[in-house]
Amino acid sequence: MTAATVATNHVAPPRSFTTAVHHTLRLTQRSVLGRLRQPAALAPSFIFPLFFAALGSASFQRMSKLPDFPASSFLNYTAAGAIVQGVLFAATSSAGDLATDIEQGFFERLLVSPVTRTAIVIGRLGSAMVVAISQVFVFLGIFLAFGARIETGVVGFIGLTVSGALLALAMSGLMSGIAIRSGSPEVVQGSFPMVFALLFLSSSFFPRQYMTGWYKTVASWNPMSHVVEGMQGFMNQPLDVDQFLRAWLIPLGIATISIMFGLRALSNRLAAQ
Amino acid sequence: MNTSLVNDTSRSSVVDGHGGRPLSVSGALVRRTLLRVRRMPAAFVPSIVMPVFQLIAFSGAFGAAVRLAGVKNAMDWYVPLNAVQGASFGAMGVSFGLINDMQTGFFDRLLMAPTKRWALIVGPMAGSIARAALPVALVIVIGFLGGMNVPGGPLAIFYVAVAATGIALVASAFALGLTYRMRNMGAATLTQFAIFFTIFLSTSQVPLSNMAGWLHAVARVNPMTNVLRLARQGLLGDITWNDTWGGLLAIAVMLFVSCWFALSGLKSLEK
Amino acid sequence: MTSAPIIAHGLVRHFGSGDNTVRAVDGVDLQVNQGEIFGFLGPNGAGKSTTVRVLTTLLKPSAGSATVAGFDVATQADQVRRSIGVALQDAAIDPLMTGRELLDLQSVLYGIPKTRARERGEELLERVGLTAAADRRVGTYSGGMRRRLDLALSLVHEPSVLFLDEPTTGLDPMSRLTLWEEVRRLNREGTTVLLTTQYLEEADQLADRIAIIDHGKIVREGVPRDLKSAVGAPTLLIDVDSTHAESARSVLARFGDLRPTSEGTLGVGLAQGAEAVASVIRSLDEAGVHVRHLELNEPSLDDVFAEATGYRLEGAETKSDAPAAGARRGPR
């Protein structure tokens, strides 16, 4: 039995709510700083969505002239997809940091300290939300500068921001669970194909009504299609309760399940030590 | 100091006058590549899965856009793209393999071999063709399963293979040149970025005529556009010299430049 | 063409530029004669490996010149490569390949015809005791087996000059002795060997002549026995309480030159020889110095090293002021 294990079993973590909040905020702060200090790891989650949005706008602009196209321009259509893409990439890469913490022993250092256990996971999720909100601001700022419009105005802007944050919470919870279970950055990296599949087999890049066959069926079952379509609603349609239901409630539901998965993984790891 | 005078080279009796024959050395390096793939298949899987996944995703998601541009079946448009892209993934393997050899010191063993320096470059480049063969073949097979049209006949598939082989060679030579200079994992990432942007800033998604503004300007001068035209011609219609020579020239020029980049990078290691 | 197998004149190799320039090899003059084992002794970062990398054509010299097997390392690299065998630090071997596959590859690299390569491979595997393990992946080999395979690989083309860069670093004592025996055997068969080492015992046991390198410069060169006798006096080492260290030092200074030692120990080269020990103890006693431990050492290579560099190699910290040769190409 290691020294870390002994301490884990005998040091009772403080349980007060304010302490837990304080620990969570400090760990969120550490995690955000950690992300900012690795610009090379964070950059792809900004560069690639913007690149794909630019590429799509230049390639598929003609499509937006079709009478049933769900947006006034392809840029307006693709904005929501770019946010979703950026958030998913960033959340996955953030979970990679957590796995690295476990691999390099920082996680054990946290465990031997009297820090609130849930704060270790929630702090990481908090940082994913902070990064997601900044992504929404940066992406929308750039898209608006290039002529995009948010049809639902300020309410839509808030709707998109909250949706991005909730999606980050959902994805980060899932990926953190994988990171804690495996303790291996390679395994987290290996989950990237799942993220690709979630994105590409949805209406993130192209409207569902133009898809055909089995691909359309899969995209219709993919919850990501509905999240992104809710967000596209904020960008392109008049305000509607359906937009909130799809863009907020679906990620919130997934987040609830994925956080439970993350905390369960943590508790299993603690029990195994 | 007492100097002993000797006939110093007389004992190297098993080495023939030419040292390692370059083509034999390259061949041995190709065999080593295949051996490594066979013994570490997990590292090879993504380079097979990704082109296949992208073929399915692109043709499923953007199929309507290319059909609007007059393409009969989305596979006709995306099989050549993903064959070329799949072939270029081999370059990542070349870069990772070289970095690994540099870190373990195995590369020093190769550098100390009395053979032509170009043999050390041709080996990994040829190895990348071997690595590309399976993903490219798989993409073509899935294309057929997805109803890909081949109005150009067998020559159409030949040109897809030519384009894929050309890009595998160009990308791996570029990866070698970059890795010789950077000597760390950053080279593999940069190689990936360079290949990614070169491919996507061409006619990867839609024909030139459908593009707007800046992308049209970039894609028009991007040599990858010519390579994709060469690869696609037999799937979209008849094969013509007009659609062929530009791609062959683009491959030749890119190959010349990337080989020079690789060779000068290798020589810089000994400086 | 006739000459000593290894000759270097004013060899310089620096890394970086401007204020960041590090002279890893700083004017090395060297001559290794036919049929000898030459030991290159120094701590990590002293410039041993960089010198070897220049002599084996992996790096070009920044200044000076060197010939190996009669060929210039800068302008006749190909001929040098055909004449030398090299086993670099950390046995550079692909763990996914088997011993036999690596020998085959090495034979191709040196242009050895297939049938001859097969015979030679079997010979070498038997010689280094790896016949039974020849078809196993190298990743499953022990450290000693890897080094032996590395040695076999370096001998595939029957080189006239063999470079061994720290051949026994990290090996257990048994594997070290096995490798030493093999090096001696090769040398008896006529191979000239240049080996770098940071182990005094290795240099003492194996080398006919040694050069001590420090901060890129050769600070001593010669036959180990001559170098040791040149240091002269035996060294008396004493341990005293730290409160008595100053008075002990002044007593010792009366009997000879104070010598560099490890922390907590005082050393003096006894000018009068071992006979002076009794007088030293008496004087220390009269000065009220309580001696906890006393040791008399005949001159060793470590004394030679200490006399030449001002510090001892045994227990020396790894120095990082000069880059190891492989530093430019990633961790080693």
Query: pLDDT class for C315, splitting at 50, 70, 90?
Result: low
Asked if B64's CB is within 8 angstroms of A215's CB, the reply is no
Does A61 lie at the interface with B, CB-CB under 8 angstroms? yes
Does B62 lie at the interface with A, CB-CB under 8 angstroms? yes
Asked if residue B6 has pLDDT above 60, the reply is: no
Of C115 and A98, more confident: C115
Amino acid C74: pLDDT: 93
Q: Where are the alpha helices (DSSP H) in chain A?
A: 3-10, 17-36, 39-42, 44-60, 74-104, 106-112, 117-145, 153-182, 185-189, 192-200, 213-221, 223-236, 241-244, 250-272
Q: Which residues of A touch B49 (CB under 8 A)?
A: 193
Q: Which amino acid is at B106?
A: F
Q: What token pair was written down for C158?
A: 């029957």
pLDDT in tens, B98-117: 988 998 889 999 999 999 99
Amino acid A42: pLDDT: 78
Amino acid A193: pLDDT: 79
Asked if residue B10 has pLDDT above 50, the reply is: no
Asked if residue B73 has pLDDT above 90, the reply is: yes
Mean pLDDT of chain C: 86
pLDDT in tens, C55-104: 999 999 999 999 999 999 999 999 999 999 999 877 678 899 999 999 99
Residue of A nearest to B53 (CA): A197
Asked if residue C329 has pLDDT above 50, the reply is: no
**Nearest C-alpha of chain A: how many angstroms from B124?**
26
CB nearest A59 (choices: B57, B197, B210): B210
Distance, C-alpha A200 to centroid of its chain = 16
Neighbours of chain B (3+ CB pairs under 8 A): A, C
Query: What does the pLDDT average to over C299-317?
Result: 75
Amino acid A182: pLDDT: 85
Number of domains chain B contains:
1
Residue of B nearest to C94 (CA): B106
Does C323 lie at the interface with B, CB-CB under 8 angstroms? no
Do chains B and A meet with 3 or more Cβ pairs nearer than 8 Å? yes
Amino acid A183: pLDDT: 83
Cα separations in angstroms, C22 against A161, B126, C14, C50, C247: 53, 39, 5, 12, 41
d(CA A256, CA A177): 13
Query: pLDDT class for B18, splitting at 50, 70, 90?
Result: low
Q: Which residues of C touch B34 (CB under 8 A)?
A: none
Q: Classify burial at C189, counting beta carbons within 10 Å of its beta carbon; exposed 0-12, middle 13-18, buried 19 or more.
A: exposed
Residues of chain A falling short of pLDDT 70: 1-15, 273
Query: pLDDT class for B171, splitting at 50, 70, 90?
Result: very high
Of C233 and C125, more confident: C125
**How many A/B residue pairs have CB atoms within 8 Å?**
67
Amino acid C107: pLDDT: 94
Asked if C101's CB is within 8 angstroms of B35's CB, the reply is yes
Q: What token pair was written down for C300?
A: 């060793």
Neighbour count for residue A108 (Cβ, 10 Å): 18
Query: pLDDT class for B236, splitting at 50, 70, 90?
Result: very high
Asked if C79's CB is within 8 angstroms of B13's CB, the reply is no
Q: Which residues of C touch B114 (CB under 8 A)?
A: 78-79, 81-82, 109-111
Amino acid B107: pLDDT: 93
Cα separations in angstroms, B141 against B47, B52, B79, C321: 16, 10, 9, 58
Do chains C and B meet with 3 or more Cβ pairs nearer than 8 Å? yes
pLDDT in tens, A58-103: 998 888 888 888 898 999 999 999 999 999 988 888 888 888 888 8
Amino acid A153: pLDDT: 92
Asked if C330's CB is within 8 angstroms of B184's CB, the reply is yes
Residue with tokens 């060899």: C11
Asked if B6's CB is within 8 angstroms of C4's CB, the reply is yes
Amino acid A213: pLDDT: 87
Residues 6+ apart with CB under 8 A from B44: B37, B93, B131
Query: What does the pLDDT average to over C294-312?
Result: 82
Query: pLDDT class for B15, splitting at 50, 70, 90?
Result: low
For strand C37-41 and strand C2-3, is the pairing parallel, antiparallel, or unpaired? unpaired
Mean pLDDT of chain B: 89
Asked if B2's CB is within 8 angstroms of C329's CB, the reply is no
Q: Give residue B154's domain range.
A: 3-268
| Phi, psi values for residue C253, rounded to 5° | -60, -20
Do chains C and A meet with 3 or more Cβ pairs nearer than 8 Å? no
CB nearest A200 (choices: B57, B200, B210): B57
Amino acid C27: pLDDT: 93
Measuring CA to CA, which residue among A130, A163, A171 is closest to residue A258?
A171
Which residues 80-109 on chain B approach chain A with CB closer than 8 angstroms? none
**Nearest C-alpha of chain A: how many angstroms from B72?**
14
Of A161 and C256, more confident: A161
Q: Which residues of C touch B21 (CB under 8 A)?
A: 108, 111
* Contact assessment for residue B84 and residue B163, using Cβ atoms and an 8 Å cutoff: yes
Q: Which residues of C touch B14 (CB under 8 A)?
A: 110, 112, 116, 120, 156-158
Amino acid B16: pLDDT: 52
| Phi, psi values for residue B207, rounded to 5° | -65, 160
Q: Which residues of A touch B56 (CB under 8 A)?
A: 215
d(CA C255, CA C152): 52
Neighbour count for residue C147 (Cβ, 10 Å): 27
d(CA C149, CA C147): 5
**How many B/C residue pairs have CB atoms within 8 Å?**
170
Asked if C158's CB is within 8 angstroms of B25's CB, the reply is no
Asked if B61's CB is within 8 angstroms of A63's CB, the reply is no
Q: Which residues of B touch A39 (CB under 8 A)?
A: none
d(CA B171, CA B149): 28
Q: How many helices (H) and strands (E) does chain B have?
A: 10, 1
Q: What token pair was written down for A184?
A: 């291996």
Q: Which residues of B touch A60 (CB under 8 A)?
A: 62, 65, 205-206
Least confident of A178-187, B157-166, B188-197, C156-165: A178-187
Q: Which residues of B touch A62 (CB under 8 A)?
A: 65, 68, 210
Asked if residue C165 has pLDDT above 50, the reply is: yes
This prediction has a pTM of: 0.81
Residue of C nearest to B110 (CA): C109
Q: Which residues of C touch B3 (CB under 8 A)?
A: 4, 31, 33
Q: Where are the beta strands (DSSP E) in chain C?
A: 2-3, 6-15, 22-32, 37-41, 63-68, 71-72, 84-87, 161-165, 192-197, 209-214, 217-222, 235-240, 256-259, 265-270, 291-297
Asked if residue C1 has pLDDT above 70, the reply is: no
**Nearest C-alpha of chain B: how many angstroms from A13?**
41
Q: Does the ipTM exceed 0.90?
A: no
Does C110 lie at the interface with B, CB-CB under 8 angstroms? yes
Q: Which residues of A touch B46 (CB under 8 A)?
A: 193
Amino acid A125: pLDDT: 87
Measuring CA to CA, which residue among A31, A63, A256, A238 is closest to residue A149?
A238
Q: What token pair was written down for B163?
A: 């384009």
Asked if B183's CB is within 8 angstroms of C328's CB, the reply is yes
Q: Classify burial at A169, counting beta carbons within 10 Å of its beta carbon; exposed 0-12, middle 13-18, buried 19 or more.
A: buried
For strand C235-240 and strand C265-270, is the pairing parallel, antiparallel, or unpaired? antiparallel
Q: What token pair was written down for C7?
A: 């000759």
Q: Which residues of B touch C35 (CB under 8 A)?
A: 4, 6
* Contact assessment for residue B121 and residue B263, using Cβ atoms and an 8 Å cutoff: yes
Residue with tokens 């219609």: B237
Q: Where are the alpha helices (DSSP H) in C18-83?
A: 48-55, 77-83
Query: What does the pLDDT average to over B49-76?
Result: 90
Does B200 lie at the interface with A, CB-CB under 8 angstroms? yes
Asked if residue C312 has pLDDT above 80, the reply is: no
d(CA C239, CA C248): 10
Residue of B nearest to C82 (CA): B114
Of C18 and B194, more confident: B194
Least confident of B239-248, C23-32, C323-332: C323-332
Amino acid C321: pLDDT: 35
